[in-house]
Amino acid sequence: MREHREDNQASQISDLGNDVSKEKEKRMKVQERDEQRQQTVGEPVVDGDIALSADDVNVHYGDNHALRHITMNFRRNEIVALIGPSGCGKSTFLRCLNRMNDTIEVARVTGEILLEGQDVYSKEMDPVLLRARVGMVFQKPNPFPKSIYENVAYGPRIHGLARNKAELDDIVYASLEKAGLINEVKDRMEDSGTSLSGGQQQRLCIARTIAVNPEVILMDEPCSALDPIATAKIEDLMYELQENFTIAIVTHSMQQAARVSQRTAYFHLGDLVEVDDTNKIFTNPGHRLTEDYVTGRFG
C-alpha cells in the first residue's frame, strides 16, 4: 500500500511538472512571437484630418491572440479597403472600431481606438451611441421585419433626432435618396423591407445606417452576396457617401478594393502587414507577403 501511494505521488508530481513545462513553453512561444511581430510597412499612420485612429490594438478570443499590435488611422472622407485571406483578422479589426466585439463573451480588446479624439473603449462612451456614430453594414443584408419606412425611421426615432412626423419623414426620404433607393421604393414605403431584392435590401441597410448621421461607416463584405449589377450600384453609392462619411470596407475582391478605395490595408494571420495608397499596393507593394497576395500566389 505504501509503495502504491508513493507511485501515485510520483505520478502526480510528474504530471504537474509536465503541465508547468507546457505552460512555460507556451509563454515562451507567445513571447517569441511578440518579439518577432510584424512591423507594418507603408504608411499606416497618415497626416491630415483624422476621423478614426487605432494604436497598438490587440484582440484575444480566449487564448487565441487573433489580432496583434494594429496601428493605423483613417482620414475624414476617405475610403480604406481592408484585404487579406480568410481568417487574417480584417473583420475582427473592423468590429473593434465600434465595439461589436463586446457582444462576444470571450473577446478581449486592448490598445487605444480614438473617434474624433475620444477613446471608444472608455467607460464614458455609450456603446449604443458609439454604434450610431460608427455604423455597420454587414455581409448579408439584414433589414428589420418592418416596413421600408420603419426600417429607416427606427434609428432616428430611438435616438430622438426628429421632433415630429414631418422631420422624421424628411430624414427617411433623404436617407433613401442618399442610398440611391428612393425612386425604387417611394410608392411602396409600407411594404416590408424583406420584400426587396438583395441589392435593394443592402441599400436599405445603408439608408438605415446613414439615417442617424454617423461619422464613419464600416462595411463588412457588403457585396459578397450580390450580383454584379447590384455590386456596381453599391460601389457607385460609396463614391457619393464618401463626400460626407469616412468608410472602411472589408472585401475579398481585390478588384473592388482597387476600384473604390484611396488606401488599402493588407492583413495576414493577425498582423497588419502593409498600408499604403491603393495604387501602390496593387502596382508596387512594399512587402513580399502583400505582393504574393495581390498577384494571386496565395489566398
Output Rg (C-alpha) for the chain, integer angstroms.
Answer: 23
What pLDDT is stored for residue 6 in this prediction?
56
pLDDT higher at 37 or 218: 218
Q: Does residue 137 have a pLDDT over 90?
A: yes
**Over pLDDT 90: what percentage of the chain?**
85
The backbone region for 267, taken as left when phi is positive above 0, alpha when psi lies in -120 to 50, beta otherwise, is beta
Burial class (CB in 10 A: 0-12, 13-18, 19+), 175: buried
Q: Does residue 165 have a pLDDT over 90?
A: yes
CA 119 from chain centre, in angstroms, equals 17
- Is the Cβ–Cβ distance between 271 and 36 less than 8 Å? no
DSSP label of 147: B
What pLDDT is stored for residue 90 in this prediction?
96
List of residues 6+ apart from 64 with CB closer than 8 A: none
For the segment 238-256, the average pLDDT, to the nearest whole number, is: 95
- Is the Cβ–Cβ distance between 168 and 156 less than 8 Å? yes
pLDDT band at 125 (very low <50, low <70, confident <90, very high): very high
Reduced to 3 states, what is the DSSP secondary structure of residue 157?
A: helix
Question: What cell numbers appear for 171 in the block?
Answer: 430624414
**Over pLDDT 70: what percentage of the chain?**
87
Dist CA 70 CA 92 (whole Å): 11
pLDDT tens digit sequence for 68-92 = 999 999 999 999 999 999 999 999 9
- Is the Cβ–Cβ distance between 77 and 244 less than 8 Å? yes
Strand order in the sheet with 50-61: 64-75, 50-61, 107-115, 118-119
What pLDDT is stored for residue 298 in this prediction?
76
Reduced to 3 states, what is the DSSP secondary structure of residue 286?
A: coil
What pLDDT is stored for residue 225 in this prediction?
87
Q: Does residue 36 have a pLDDT over 50?
A: no
What pLDDT is stored for residue 297 in this prediction?
86
